[in-house]
Structure 1
Amino acid sequence: MMNIGTKERASALVGMTVLLVGLSCLTLIGFDVWRCLSERSVQLREVHASVRNLAKAMQIHAQNAIDEADLVLVGVVERIETDGTGPAVLARTERLMKLRKQALPQLDGLFVFDREGRWLAFSQPALVANANNADRDYFIRHERDAAAGLLIGAPVRSRSTGHLVIPLTRAINAPDGSFAGVALAMLRVDYFTRFYDELDIGHDGAVALAATEGYLLARRPFSPSYVGKSLAGSQLLETVRKYGTGVTKEIRSAQDGVVRLNSIMRVGDYPLFVGAAMSKDESLVEWRSNTIVHVVCDLGFVLLLTLLGLQLARRVRETERARAQLVDAHEALERLNRDLERQALSDGLTGLANRRHFDMRLAHECAMAAQQGTPLALLLIDIDHFKYYNDEFGHQSGDACLQRVAATIRSFETDPSCVAARYGGEELALILPGIDGLAASGIADKVREAVAALGIPNPRTGRAALTVSIGVANFRANDTPRELIARSDAALYNAKSCGRDAVRLAA
């Protein structure tokens, strides 16, 4: 039989066991709820970044298409206003328009109309009988205001080709400044929809090009009924009018009712904007699946903990006797965990050796080189203008970029004695035992070329891709690690001072 003290301890142990099981379950559930919510937040941030990138691509695509077409219009208007509308001038203008139409895939046709709307010159193979465009909205607007500049009209169906087109027009003025006609460039709606079909927006995503006046020009998913459709009353148009462009918002589509994460950007100085959107529900499908798996696992684990708690309560005597042993084992496990933590020598982001590991290995290799008289080289590598990259693409993309560069440098650990390390921030290092300074410079050049070959964009630098600068130092007799690092760092500074994307060997 248990004595009173043992019974009290047993009762206390039962209570503690129940409390421990309850707290463990609550902690597990609380932690998993936090983890699930964090993963959902991360997933949505990634979707936000994706739709911003898609919107930027659409913005550039639309602006380039309109800029190129407007340049053609400006040239045609200047030719007509300067040289007149004589037969020879119109013939030359027509040849030019046909060449421009062949060169620019976005163009469905180019036209010049006189002040009555009659066709004077055109890029089409044949004239439509009795063709006259005086009834078109853009013609009427230019007729009323000859100084209106470039007008981008609502989509229409071309009378010459039957295609859905977006009219771009400029007025042609007579020498006295009066209205003399219109130059028209027709942009094919399917030029934009074909580009949109290539974008990865998932099954329920959507992208659109629209006018700030409130109507659609092009959209994916596409339907001819969408072209020119009014956006009045839609959340998209309300968002544009309330917040302007350059925003990312959660919006319910007026076309199909799907809730999407939208990124909206203005197309240059034109009265247009683009919107890229990905379905919120579709974006979270994987997260939901993982969450369900975790919930099932948590329920199973909670059940297991409960059964274990009941078993522990039934075996109080054994638990009391084993308490001391468990305490000892727990303390031993904590000591082991502390030892393992102290032995952790890897950088968490890049997987390279961390600074502590680097310092230990460099000290060891310097001692070996001094003792045995063998060569030793150190490369200090700095990512050029990495701050620009972070500012342009965000810190998550910066971390991914750093991981790719680190993986490239790790590939140059051609010998077990070589050590690639993260020295600090965007500065990396490569210890090369048994290699002299000249050979190390050659390796450094290969590292520099390999990083450039990754093709990571860094637009604000003016270079084709992300680059690195490398300082190389050769171990000298009686060098301390600090001296070797200092000479390598000085060489790195020299490489950066000479324009970056360079390798310099310390004197």
Structure 2
Amino acid sequence: MPIPIHDPHDSSDRTLKRLPLLKAAVVFISMVCLCLCGLLYLQLAQSYHYDMARAQVASSNLARAMAQQAEDTFVEADLVLASLADWIQKDGYGPAQKPFLQKIFAQRALALKQLHSLYLFDQAGQWVVTSSNQLPLGEGVVDRDYFRFHQQNTSLLAHVGPAIRSRESGEWIIPLSRRLNDRQGNFEGVLMAGIRLAYFDQFFKSFDIDDNGSMFLALSDGTLLARRPLEERQIGASLARGEIFSKYLPESPSGTAMISSLVDNKMRLYGYRQLEAYPLVVGAASSKDAVLKDWYASAYQSSGIVALVVLGIGLFGWVFVHQVRNGERIEADLRTAQAALEVIATHDSLTGLANRRLLERALETEFGRGGRQASPLSLIMLDIDFFKRYNDTYGHVAGDQCLAEVAQVLRDCCQRKADLAVRYGGEEFVVLLPDTEMPGAIAMAEQIRRSVMEKHILHTGSPFGRVTLSLGCYCFVPNGCDSIEAFLEHADAALYQAKKSGRNQVAVESVSEPLARSDR
């Protein structure tokens, strides 16, 4: 990587950073567009929450009305059963009482429009009295769930069972039943009121909900009793895995929730409520599309207006940016040219290493820093042994290639960002090592020497048979008043000592040695 000419520690050479005009324009236009979109989002979010809150209130009120109606329906039928149970347990249902009981059953069944019929079964599940004129023929109701429930449970409270088809008329009914005991408390029979499923169907249709809306009546265990829209195959289906029964009812007996229906997988806003007197749950739902119909219309309109405004701003910004871009392109070309000139001025074209000019500037910087921090500064000066013979033997093209390979070794060895490898001149190189004492400089020099030897560059003109290096090391602590020339001369003296001692080695400066150079 090219090394910059300017010293980053020199505050006088620091340029004022500024935001490019193109980026400023893009940021401004983007911020305006984001603000418009943000305002649109806030407006739509506020409107969405308002519409959802209003729909939740409506669903909750509808569920409350359904719950009240359902509870009244079952309470009225239950009161009839309770009065009949008291009458039967007091006077019995022997042959003498059956005509009178049948008349009372018929009157009570006609009095309540939700009742399909009233039935009295003995302990064997056989018909004893019904609200119709004739007793049904058949095996009785011993197999019915509600009958088995009362056989196995001593509770005298009313029991609501799953919807069944009447064996008398084939009509769907919801059984509401009570257990009858004799005077000793033993099971004597079952009194049952069949509530018409069609009654709830008509009741559900009286409410104004959207075409994709839904209403249901279910047992607390999730067994579906009635639903709008009604499909017979859905009667008796289990809703226990639905979120209302599995998630929301355990936390609260009433509330609202936006969920997907288990029956048809449509997303609806449900209002649900569990009855207090009976194990029943009612729910009313409006489809999400119907709830948000007005919101969608407003959202599309507002989004369209904002989109047009953003498009207009974008077109204006595109024109402005296009005009600015040409000026910035010219400025960028000038900066690129300046950077190229800096590289040419501070780096060697053959090896790509720094040149003497950059070395001098780096030394000035390190002298100042070392003087402030009292940190050691080391310099390795090296050159290729018998390089003149190498050129004479292999030619200058091969010599240039040899210089490039040695330069690559220097780059590989200088791992720290502060280390600086320099082509000092000809076959001579310099490595500047800030914050490095003499042992570290010697270790670096040995690494460079071994790395060059390991390349096995053939050199028949050398007694070593391959290209080798001689290296001289010098280290000192700057004091702020040092001379660059003296520093370089000390390193050069160490290099001369390495050559005098036989080449292909590392030496440190010896003050007893003269500063003259040998034939390299």
TM over 0.5: yes
Alignment equivalent of 2:93, drawn from 70, 85, 89 = 85
Aligned match for 2:52, one of 44, 51, 58: 44
Mapped to 1, the partners of 2:276 and 2:305 lie a distance apart of 51
Structure 2 runs not aligned, ≥5 long: 1-20, 323-520
**Structure 2 counterpart of 1:139, one-letter code:** F
Q: Mind listing any 5+ residue stretches in structure 1 that lack a counterpart?
A: 1-12, 315-507
Q: After the TM superposition, which residues 226-265 of structure 1 pair with which residues of structure 2 at under 5 Å, given as runs?
A: 226-265=234-273
| Number of the residue aligned with 1:174 | 182
Larger Rg: 2
Q: Deviations over 1:64-86 (max 9, x none)?
A: 00000000000111111111123
2:81 aligned partner = 73
User: Do residues 31 (structure 1) and 31 (structure 2) align?
Assistant: no
Paired with 1:144 and 1:310, the residues of 2 have a C-alpha distance of 82
Q: Which amino acid aligns with 1:277?
A: A
Cα gap change, 1:15/1:225 in structure 2, threshold over 3 Å: closer, same or farther?
Answer: closer
- Verify the 8 A CA contact 1:236 1:253 in the aligned structure 2: no
SS class of match (1:242): coil
2:250 counterpart SS class: helix
CA distance in 1, matches of 2:143, 2:232: 23
- The AA in structure 2 aligned to 1:229 is A
Answer yes or no: is the 8 Å Cα contact 1:207–1:220 preserved in 2.
yes
Aligned counterpart for 1:116 among listed residues 121, 124, 131? 124
| Preserved contact between residue 124 and residue 160 of structure 1 (Cα < 8 Å) | no
Residue 290 of structure 1 deviates from its aligned partner by 2.0
CA distance in structure 1 between the partners assigned to 2:247 and 2:319 by the alignment: 60
Q: 1:14 to 1:252 in 2, by over 3 A?
A: closer
| CA displacement at 1:100 relative to structure 2 | 1.5
How far apart in 1 are the matches of 2:161 and 2:216?
Answer: 16
Which position in structure 2 is the counterpart of 1:161? 169
Paired residues of 1:173 and 1:180 also in contact (CA < 8 A) = yes
The CA deviation at 1:47 is: 1.2
Are residue 215 (structure 1) and residue 215 (structure 2) matched? no
**What is the CA–CA distance in structure 1 between the aligned matches of 2:30 and 2:172, rounded to whole Å?**
67
Q: CA deviation at 1:310?
A: 8.7
The code of the aligned residue for 2:172 comes to: L
Match of 2:503 in 1: none
Task: Tell me, in whole angstroms, the C-alpha distance in 1 between the residues paired with 2:75 and 2:41.
Answer: 51
Correspondent of 2:214 among 206, 225, 231: 206
Q: Deviations over 1:38-82 (max 9, x none)?
A: 111111111111110110111011100000000000011111111
The alpha carbon displacement at 1:18 in A equals: 8.5
Give 3-state SS (helix, strand or coil) of 2:236's partner.
coil
State which of 124, 141, 144 in structure 1 corresponds to 2:149. 141
State whether residues 111 and 123 of structure 1, in contact with CA within 8 Å, keep that contact through their aligned partners in structure 2: yes
CA contact (8 A) 1:231 1:237 kept: yes
Q: Give, in whole Å, the separation in 2 of the partners of 1:15 and 1:171.
A: 84
Displacement of 1:313 after TM fit?
A: 11
Q: Which amino acid aligns with 2:239?
A: L
Give the distance between the partners of 1:135 and 1:65, measured in 2 at CA. 26
- Structure 1 80/22 Cα, relative in aligned 2: closer, same or farther at 3 Å? same
Amino acid at match of 1:153: G
Q: Which string of whole-angstrom CA distances, capped at 9 and with x for unpartnered residues, describes residues 367-405 of structure 1?
A: xxxxxxxxxxxxxxxxxxxxxxxxxxxxxxxxxxxxxxx
Say which structure is richer in helix: 1
Residues 154/298 of structure 1: CA separation in 2 closer, same or farther (3 Å cut): same
Identify which of 274, 277, 290 aligns with 1:282.
290
1:98–1:114 Cα change, 3 Å = same
Shift of 1:90: 2.4
1:296-355 per-position Cα deviation (integer Å, ceiling 9, x unaligned)? 1112123344567799999xxxxxxxxxxxxxxxxxxxxxxxxxxxxxxxxxxxxxxxxx
Once structures 1 and 2 are overlaid, which stretch shifts more, 97-106 or 73-82?
97-106
Distance 1:15 1:86 in 2: 100
Q: Counterpart of 1:271?
A: 279
Q: TM-score, structure 1 length as denominator?
A: 0.55
Cα RMSD for the two superposed structures: 2.8
CA distance in structure 2 between the aligned counterparts of 1:162 and 1:261, rounded to whole angstroms: 35
Q: How many residues in Structure 1 have an aligned counterpart in Structure 2?
A: 304
Counterpart for residue 108 of structure 2: 100
Q: Deviations over 1:191-247 (max 9, x none)?
A: 111111222221221111111122101111210111111224222321245324212
Counterpart of 1:185 in structure 2: which amino acid?
A
Runs of 4+ in 1 over 4 A off after TM superposition: 13-24, 305-314
Amino acid at match of 1:223: E
